[in-house]
């Protein structure tokens, strides 16, 4: 960049003027600025209110995964992401799952945890007891903050108190257990945690620092199961290969990270389409995967007595339909309408099914032909574009690379050069 990144009053400028500043400082061309300024289906004034210092937007393609049957209901599933082959894989896996009835999913309810950190407590165990004795008062104070949530049957329902041994000495940590209904719940829970903090200081005689939701949402779990017919998925070898793949992930964190990443390909793509907090979902998933002290797969795969393959997924799924971008982003609202879910838990259940489907698709490909064949075929067009192909040339270059089984950037460049000469 040219000049200092200190731009006083940048936040106060209208979007267009912010863009002018960025253009001047970075040498962005008119064309580059125009594509950045395009906020797609998100009106620019909404974008400007959603976060700070907005200059534009970035759009992902949204595809619709077909064939999903979850708890006996059919769903068209919107998925937004940049990675080729995910939507195709989900649709294909969902089709195979249908043979045995699709996905069955249950959930533990929309329950989140709000933590309050108390330090410098003289009698941590005594403070814990006193907090528990005054639970009703603390819960009432929390619930007074959100009459709307309480009127809908949600609100702070319980209080858990931990005493932690830390490198800075003992800490008392009361935790509000909050039913957040159709909200993801971070704002609701954080407001409650902040409101009860003075009371917590008075009861414990300590000092409160942090008051914040936990993204390890282990009281907001979804559990999905699907039976995959042995013959429909490629026979006994495929079943065995997938069970071996799972065993590998269970034994080795290096493999497990990629196993779980495959699950999140599906979960996060639906989450982006539906305007969810994907950082919260990732944090929840991976912390839950590590809850035993070892990083483990979020799914299990077994062969049943008939020789069919049974997949199970269990993970936190903190999603909402009220609040956040789910409410303010018009494209997310349209995606939620396509999906047709009526509650946050229904959304969570569909997302669990998609995560399980995605994991199945990846393991099936890995345990048989490898993922590169299907993946690279779909990726060939991206490579063609990055090698400079435009218009009709994109498909010509991609097709040629697939035929030659040389789906590589250097070959794409040669083909682009050849075709440009013609």
| Nearest-angstrom CA–CA distance, 71 and 244 | 28
Question: Of the two residues 112 and 119, which places its CB atom closer to ligand NAD in the complex?
Answer: 112
Q: Which is nearer to ligand NAD, 104 or 187 (CB)?
A: 187
Taking the complex as a whole, how short is the minimal distance between the CB of residue 372 and ligand NAD, in angstroms? 36
Q: Residue 156 Cβ, how far from ligand NAD at the closest point, in Å?
A: 11
Q: Largest Cα–Cα distance of the chain, in whole Å? A: 84
Query: Least distance from C-beta 326 to ligand NAD, angstroms?
Result: 8
Residue 261 catalytic?
A: yes
Minimum distance of ligand NAD from residue 111's CB (angstroms): 12
Q: Which of 69, 141, 146, 277 is catalytic?
A: 277
Could you say which of 140, 261, 377, 413 is catalytic? 261
Q: How far apart are CA 325 and CA 334, in angstroms?
A: 12
Q: Choose between 215 and 359: whose C-beta lies nearer to ligand NAD.
A: 215
83 is catalytic: yes
| Cα separation of the two ends of the chain | 40
Distances (CA, A) of 389 to 36, 87, 158, 395, 416: 21, 24, 60, 9, 6
> What's the token pair of residue 317?
């799924």
In the complex, the residues that contact ligand NAD under the rule CB under 6 A are 146, 148-149, 152, 154, 180-188, 190, 213, 215, 277, 280, 320, 322-324
Q: How far is CA 125 from CA 119, 149, 172, 392, in A?
A: 13, 32, 8, 72
Nearer to ligand NAD, 146 or 314 (CB): 146
Nearer to ligand NAD, 188 or 347 (CB): 188
Residues 224 and 311: their CA atoms lie apart, in Å, by 8
Planar angle of CA 109, 112, 113, nearest 5 degrees: 145
Structural contact between residues 44 and 15, judged by C-beta atoms closer than 8 angstroms:
yes
Which C-beta is closer to ligand NAD: that of 311 or that of 320? 320
- Phi, psi of 261, rounded to the nearest 5 degrees: -60, -40
Residue 349 near residue 267 (C-beta atoms within 8 A):
no
CB of 179 to ligand NAD, least distance (A): 9
Q: Which residues contact 141 (CB under 8 A, 6 or more apart)?
A: 195, 196, 199
- Active-site choice (296, 329, 375, 400): 375
Distance between alpha carbon 278 and the CA centroid of its chain, in Å?
4
Report CA Rg, the chain. 25
The answer to whether 287 and 216 have CB atoms below 8 angstroms apart is yes
Residue nearest to ligand NAD (CB): 323
Is 140 annotated in the active site? no
Cβ of residue 214: shortest distance to ligand NAD, in angstroms? 8
Compute φ and ψ for 294, nearest 5 degrees: -125, 140
Of 192 and 203, the one with the shorter C-beta distance to ligand NAD is 192
Contact assessment for residue 42 and residue 330, using Cβ atoms and an 8 Å cutoff: yes
3-state secondary structure of 341: coil
For the annotated catalytic residues, the residue numbers are 83, 261, 277, 375
């Amino acid at each position: 960049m040219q000049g200092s990144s200190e731009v006083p009053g940048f936040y106060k400028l209208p979007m267009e003027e912010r863009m002018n500043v960025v253009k001047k400082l970075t040498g962005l061309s008119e064309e580059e600025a125009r594509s950045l300024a395009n906020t797609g289906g998100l009106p620019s004034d909404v974008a400007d209110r959603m976060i700070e210092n907005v200059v534009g937007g970035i759009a992902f393609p949204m595809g619709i995964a077909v064939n999903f049957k979850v708890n006996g209901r059919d769903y068209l599933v919107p998925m937004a992401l940049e990675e080729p082959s995910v939507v195709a894989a989900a649709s294909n896996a969902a089709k195979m799952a249908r043979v045995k009835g699709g996905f069955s999913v249950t959930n533990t309810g929309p329950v989140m945890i709000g933590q309050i950190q108390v330090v410098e407590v003289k009698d941590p165990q005594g403070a814990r007891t006193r907090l528990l004795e005054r639970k009703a008062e603390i819960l009432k104070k929390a619930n007074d903050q959100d009459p709307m949530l309480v009127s809908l049957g949600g609100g702070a329902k319980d209080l858990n108190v931990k005493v932690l041994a830390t490198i800075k000495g003992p800490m008392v940590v009361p935790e509000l257990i909050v039913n957040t209904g159709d909200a993801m719940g971070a704002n609701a829970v954080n407001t409650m945690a902040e409101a009860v903090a003075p009371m917590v200081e008075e009861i414990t005689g300590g000092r409160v620092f942090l008051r914040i939701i936990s993204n390890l949402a282990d009281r907001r779990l979804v559990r999905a199961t699907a039976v995959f017919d042995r013959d429909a998925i490629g026979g006994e070898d495929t079943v065995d290969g997938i069970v071996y793949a799972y065993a590998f992930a269970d034994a080795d964190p290096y493999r497990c990270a990629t196993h779980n990443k495959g699950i999140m390909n599906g979960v996060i793509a639906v989450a982006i389409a539906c305007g969810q907090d994907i950082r919260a979902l990732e944090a929840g998933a991976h912390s839950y995967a590590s809850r035993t002290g070892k990083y483990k797969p979020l799914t299990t795969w077994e062969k049943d007595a008939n020789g069919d393959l049974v997949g199970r997924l269990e993970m936190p799924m903190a999603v909402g339909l009220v609040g956040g971008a789910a409410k303010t982003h018009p494209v997310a609202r349209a995606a939620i309408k396509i999906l047709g879910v009526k509650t946050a838990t229904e959304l969570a259940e569909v997302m669990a099914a998609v995560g399980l489907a995605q994991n199945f698709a990846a393991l099936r490909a890995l345990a048989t032909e490898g993922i590169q064949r299907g993946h690279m075929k779909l990726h060939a067009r991206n490579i063609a574009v990055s090698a400079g192909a435009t218009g009709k040339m994109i498909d010509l270059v991609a097709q040629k690379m697939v035929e030659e089984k040389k789906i590589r950037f250097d070959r794409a460049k040669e083909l682009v050069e050849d075709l440009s000469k013609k």
